[in-house]
A and B are shown apart, each in its own frame.
Chain A
Amino acid sequence: MPDLDEKWQHGDVNAFETLFRLHNKMVFKTAYLITGNKETAEDVLQEVFVSVWKSRHTYNPDKGKLTTWLHRITVNQCLKKSGKSPVTVSLDEKGIDLPEMELQSDPEEILISKAEYDRLLKAIDTLDTKHRSVLVLRYFNDLSYQEIAEALEIPLGTVKSRLNLSLRQLKEQMNVGEATA
């Protein structure tokens, strides 16, 4: 959407509001999944867009997608927040309503039991922000490895190893949870 890019980069607040409306859900949900906390996710959302506005002249649409830039700022803000609070934020102790068994009601969805769901949430809690970020970018935002590498400014090989390590840690933690259940 080159016209929109041109306008908000020129300081047009109305165009910037359109940009916010287009991308706020993606930023908020990504931040929520990484931090596990709604209030922190809203803080991140605000800081991301204030930061985008301040740096509007440095963004070059010819050099990369806007969403890549947004992902980078979002993850950086989440990492900043994690530095101020414990690295792992308990997802289920922060008042998040766990979906009930409705997960099994949709035949298109992969079947997952409530017990498995809980174990997976606990396993996600054991990951630090850095590893959660790559999982969220890959399995929620559906970014390719190359896109994650560009967003996080890390080598492709690091993306591969970080994702593999994170997924295997989840698997091991789930096995531990199953054994102690």
Chain B
Amino acid sequence: MGEEMNCNYICELLTAYLDGEVTPQETADIKSHLAGCPRCHDELEELSGVRGNLRSVLKSMADEVDTPAGSWERVRVKLDTRVHWFDGLYNLLGGRTWQLATAAAAVLIIIAVAALWQFGGVTQAPRSLPVPAPAPAPAPEFAPPAPAPQEKSPAPLMAPPMPFEVSVVPEDARYTVGQLVEFELSITNMSSDSIRLERYPPEIVIKPQYRDEIVFSVAGGTVPLEIKPGETVTWEFSWDQKDTGGNQVSPGWYDVTFKDIDAVDATENSYGLSPSARLLIE
């Protein structure tokens, strides 16, 4: 193997060598080559320096940021928490994908058997025989197996689906400096029973994104509010971009959070959330 080719081979392995991700044989090859090749030795030194600095820079950059406030709430409102048929099946089987797959296969087999039972007299009739007259309705004792029972109410472990929908409009908006900021929070009762908000109206807090500094807030009320089935309650909120001291806030991203909305359904299940939106002043 020529020297140049050997250098190329070794250079391909240097990062993995620094990371301890080479085989014992490769380690021996590299060490042996480096002992007699100042160029590859220098290359290793330089890569080692960049690698160390990179770790340091990545850590430093990551330390500079944190998950923005209200992230969970923003995820929460996007989750579809309706109970699906597969949740019930999953619970029935105690989880795990293979069990789910087995169950799905079993359900398919049951359906197939039921279908054969239902239509077997026709599909299995010999071609040479005349097509029989339509069979009378099967007697009850020969009825095909009953289909799998419909999903019952969720297992106790499972959180009930939220009986209401929450939306903040707009979720993302841009404003020029000084422009009136307007948001609308809506809560719609999707259930067939009334729900109760423990406190009305909700507290509103505005913070610059990534900073734990409240620039503006509106205190929440303390009076409970009942929302009837199908009813939508809406809060409109506007902000003149002034902080609590009456000064125009700086341009940038801001989080608007409707804090600690506690809703209680007819069975006294409690749901707490803080929906939020963000806006850019530019």
Contact = CB atoms under 8 A, between A and B. Distances in A.
Interface string A165-181: 00110110010000000
Contacts of B97: 57-60
A167 B100 contact: no
Given A116-B53, A167-B15, A160 B21 contact: yes
Interface residues of A, number: 62
Contact of A167 (B50, B78, B87, B154): B50
A79 interface: no
Nearest to B162: A13
Nearest to A36: B61
A144 B16 CA distance: 10
B67 A112 contact: no
Contact of A39 (B14, B19, B253): B253
A120 B16 contact: no
Contacts of B19: 138, 145, 163
B159 A14 contact: yes
A36 to B, nearest CB: 9
Contact of B55 (A38, A41, A58, A139): A139
Interface stretch (A3-11, A68-76, A82-90): A3-11
A110 interface: yes
In the complex, which range does the number of interface residues on chain B fall in? Answer: 35 or more
A7 B100 CA distance: 15
A58 B90 CA distance: 11
Interface string B217-248: 00000000000000000000000000000000
A38 B210 CA distance: 9
A9 B159 CA distance: 11
Interface string B189-217: 00000000000000000000110000000
30 contacts: A11-B159, A20-B75, A38-B68, A42-B71, A46-B71, A46-B78, A50-B79, A53-B79, A57-B86, A58-B97, A62-B96, A99-B64, A103-B56, A110-B56, A112-B56, A112-B57, A116-B53, A120-B50, A120-B53, A124-B54, A139-B54, A145-B16, A145-B19, A160-B12, A163-B15, A163-B16, A163-B19, A167-B54, A168-B11, A168-B47
Given A46-B71, A103-B56, 9 more contacts: A10-B90, A10-B158, A33-B62, A57-B86, A109-B56, A145-B16, A160-B16, A163-B19, A170-B50
Interface of A: 6-7, 9-14, 16-17, 20-21, 24-25, 28-29, 32-33, 38-39, 41-42, 45-46, 49-50, 53-54, 57-60, 62, 91, 96-97, 99, 103, 109-110, 112, 116-117, 120-121, 124, 135-136, 138-140, 144-145, 160-161, 163-164, 167-168, 170-171, 174
Interface of B: 11-16, 19, 21, 46-47, 50-68, 71-72, 74-76, 78-81, 83-84, 86-87, 90-91, 95-98, 100, 154-155, 157-159, 209-210, 253
